[in-house]
């Protein structure tokens, strides 16, 4: 019965006693042996494994010493419950002594050298809501606004006999029909986009939508145009895929249309709400961009970042909504409002393009979880999403006003109110300022913000930029937070 759990290798350098001891210890820690029943007896193991009784007895004695087993009179050895507290615990693992740590023999660093995917990226502090009094963190949502009751209702109604029966479908080939319908009616329509169901693909967040588009449109050696400053993750994606990046200048109206763009097979743009400057591209320039790319036969990936949080009744339409030729691939997601943790994204493009994207998605992960698709569909259909977004928008708009006021007081002219909406302000400090240094200075005072230099090709000469998110900071804390940043600024000026 235990022959498969304990495997004896007579050619191994390790002694038989240690082999048994080690494997029993692993089994115990992994709860493979019931706690209330005796472990295999010495005689039993000795017979099954064809080793001497002494060998097994010595192994058990060592396990007793190490605290893995307890001896009980007449009934043999039992698992020591203390050994089970936390199998993942480092101390426990170290107590296993002889267990070779997998990987100890391989220099992964050497193996991966030159093509590490562990590229610089923004990781938000996991405890920022409790750690900072003034968390100007970007891209997180205040969980206390989330309509838990409505969401639970949708969860409940999406997990029943009828719905679960649908899960036994191969969702590689089709997405949840109700979700697609709701995305078209309630989400894409607001961006001025008309789409057929077969022109929409559900993705694991907006990030996957972008990744699929990049991978479909470009091969190694091709060039993608990315705004400067722009979204660092797309530059990392390009690097991962061996795609060259050409940085394209941005002014107060977003991406500057220039002949340089012609050197790219594809452009990655954030026209309605530029990342990270938040400026909105005027309609004329959007048309000019479409005209240019159509003439040069280029594709455009439009990342409609933070699109659901718009301060205007009629937000500036998405580039995709003006696309009559079909060269705009639209990537979006509900993650900036519907809690980023759910990872609900979508790709909108010509059906033939979507067919390819679906095939690529299949090979990468088959499909996004189907239970969440139906739950979000209900959340949209019942109007909970619209109501929730309306509430968030109202709160953000108030906070944005306070932000603007505070920033104008302390840093006049250094920032612009985000025209589109969203929950982030872009701040340009005097050139001598170092935002990284500034952050270190204000961190002990409970202030957190994101530096902006890493969004530029020339990070070194743009250390004076920073991003201030206001999605998780209460409006009453904003003036003091901005004040603390302003107070610390003089100490964060460095000579260039």
User: 409 to 468, contacts with its own copies by CB under 8 A?
Assistant: none
With CA atoms as reference, report the closest residue to 208 among 237, 174, 228. 237
Quote the least distance from Cβ 296 to its own copies, whole Å: 13
Question: Out of 35, 53, 71, 164, which residue is the one contacting its own copies (CB under 8 A)?
Answer: 164
Decide: is 174 part of the binding site for its own copies (CB under 8 A): yes
- Per CB under 8 A, 15 contacts its own copies: no
Candidate segments 35-43, 60-68, 162-170, 403-411, binder of its own copies by CB under 8 A: 162-170
When the beta carbons of 286 and 428 are compared against its own copies, the nearer one is 286
Three-class SS of residue 427? strand
Q: CB-wise, 200 or 492, nearer to its own copies?
A: 200
**In the range 371-400, which residues lie near its own copies by CB under 8 A?**
371-372
Stretch that binds its own copies, among 274-282, 311-319, 418-426, 461-469 (CB under 8 A): 311-319
Task: Retrieve residue 232's tokens.
Answer: 């660092």
Residues 69-98 that bind its own copies (CB under 8 A): 86-88, 90, 93, 96
Minimum Å gap between C-beta 142 and its own copies is 7
Contact 129, 135 (CB under 8 A): yes
* DSSP assigned state of 469: E
Q: Which residues pair with 346 in a beta bridge?
A: 202, 332
Binds its own copies (CB under 8 A): choice among 53, 159, 391, 494: 159
Q: In which order are the strands placed within the sheet that holds 465-469?
A: 424-428, 465-469, 450-451
Using CB under 8 A as the binding rule, the residues of this chain from 337 to 376 that contact its own copies are 339-343, 349-353, 355-356, 359-360, 362-372
Q: What is the DSSP letter of 420?
A: S
Applying CB under 8 A, among 195, 424, 442, 466 the residue interacting with its own copies is 195
Tell me whether residue 429 or residue 472 sits nearer to its own copies (CB atom).
472
Supply the minimum distance, in Å, between the C-beta of residue 177 and its own copies: 9
Within 10 angstroms of residue 320's Cβ, the number of other Cβ atoms is: 26
Q: According to the binding rule CB under 8 A, does residue 494 interact with its own copies?
A: no
- Our CB check for its own copies shows the closer of 41 and 371 to be 371
Cα radius of gyration (the chain): 29
Distance (Å, whole) CA 130 – CA 140: 13
Nearer to its own copies, 88 or 259 (CB): 88
Please tell me the distance from the alpha carbon of residue 68 to that of residue 308, in angstroms, as a whole number: 55
162 backbone dihedrals φ, ψ, rounded to 5°: -70, -45
> Smallest distance, Å, CB 313 to its own copies?
7
What minimum distance in Å lies between the beta carbon of 451 and its own copies?
Answer: 16
- 3-state SS, one letter per residue, for 158-226: HCCHHHHHHHCCCCCCCCCHHHHHHHHHHHHHHHCCCCCHHHEEEEEHHHHHHHHHHHHHCCCCCEEEE
Query: Pick from 54, 75, 169, 258: which binds its own copies (CB under 8 A)?
Result: 169
Site string for its own copies, 95-114 (x = CB under 8 A): -x--xxxxxxxx-xx--x--
307 vs 329: CA distance, rounded Å: 15
Could you tell me if 221 and 238 are in contact, meaning their C-beta atoms sit under 8 angstroms apart?
no
How many amino acids of this chain bind its own copies (CB under 8 A)? 135
């Amino acid at each position: 019965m235990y022959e498969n759990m304990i495997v004896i290798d007579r050619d191994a350098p390790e002694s038989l006693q240690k082999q048994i001891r080690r494997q029993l210890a692993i089994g115990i820690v992994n709860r493979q042996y019931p706690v209330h029943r005796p472990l295999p007896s010495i005689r039993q193991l000795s017979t099954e494994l064809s080793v001497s009784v002494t060998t097994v007895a010595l192994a058990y004695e060592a396990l007793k010493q190490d605290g893995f087993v307890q001896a009980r009179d007449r009934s043999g050895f039992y698992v020591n419950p203390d050994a089970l507290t936390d199998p993942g615990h480092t101390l426990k693992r170290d107590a296993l002594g002889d267990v070779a740590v997998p990987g100890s023999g391989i220099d992964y660093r050497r193996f991966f050298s030159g093509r590490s995917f562990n590229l610089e990226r923004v990781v938000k502090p996991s405890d920022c809501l409790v750690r900072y009094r003034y968390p100007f963190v970007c891209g997180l949502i205040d969980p206390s606004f989330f309509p838990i009751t409505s969401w639970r209702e949708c969860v409940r109604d999406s997990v029943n006999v009828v719905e679960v029966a649908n899960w036994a479908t191969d969702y590689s080939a089709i997405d949840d029909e109700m979700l697609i319908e709701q995305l078209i009616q309630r989400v894409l329509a607001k961006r001025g986009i008309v789409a057929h169901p077969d022109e929409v693909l559900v993705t694991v967040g907006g990030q996957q939508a972008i990744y699929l588009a990049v991978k479909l449109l470009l091969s190694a050696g091709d060039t993608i145009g990315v705004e400067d400053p722009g979204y660092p993750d797309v530059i990392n994606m390009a690097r991962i895929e061996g795609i060259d990046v050409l940085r394209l200048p941005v002014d107060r109206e977003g991406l500057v249309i220039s002949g340089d763009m012609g050197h790219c097979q594809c452009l990655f743009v954030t026209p309605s709400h530029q990342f990270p400057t938040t400026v909105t591209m005027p309609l004329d320039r959007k048309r000019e961009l479409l005209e240019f790319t159509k003439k040069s036969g280029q594709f455009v990936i439009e990342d409609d970042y933070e699109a659901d949080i718009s301060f205007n009744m009629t937000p500036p339409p998405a580039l995709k909504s003006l696309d009559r030729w079909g060269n705009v691939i639209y990537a979006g997601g509900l993650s900036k409002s519907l809690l980023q943790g759910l990872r609900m994204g979508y790709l909108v493009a010509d059906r033939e393009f979507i067919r390819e994207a679906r095939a690529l998605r299949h090979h990468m992960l088959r499909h996004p979880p189907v239970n969440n698709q139906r739950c979000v569909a209900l959340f949209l259909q019942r109007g909970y999403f619209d109501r929730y977004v309306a509430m968030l928008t109202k709160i953000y708009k108030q906070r944005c006003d306070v932000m603007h006021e505070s920033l104008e007081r302390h840093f006049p002219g250094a920032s612009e109110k985000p025209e589109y909406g969203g929950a982030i302000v872009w701040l340009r400090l005097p050139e001598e300022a170092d935002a990284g240094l500034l952050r270190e200075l204000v961190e002990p005072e409970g202030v957190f913000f994101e530096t902006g230099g890493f969004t530029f090709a020339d990070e070194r000469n743009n250390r004076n930029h920073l991003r201030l998110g206001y999605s998780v900071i209460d409006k009453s804390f904003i003036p003091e937070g901005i004040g603390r940043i302003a107070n610390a600024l003089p100490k964060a000026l460095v000579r260039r």
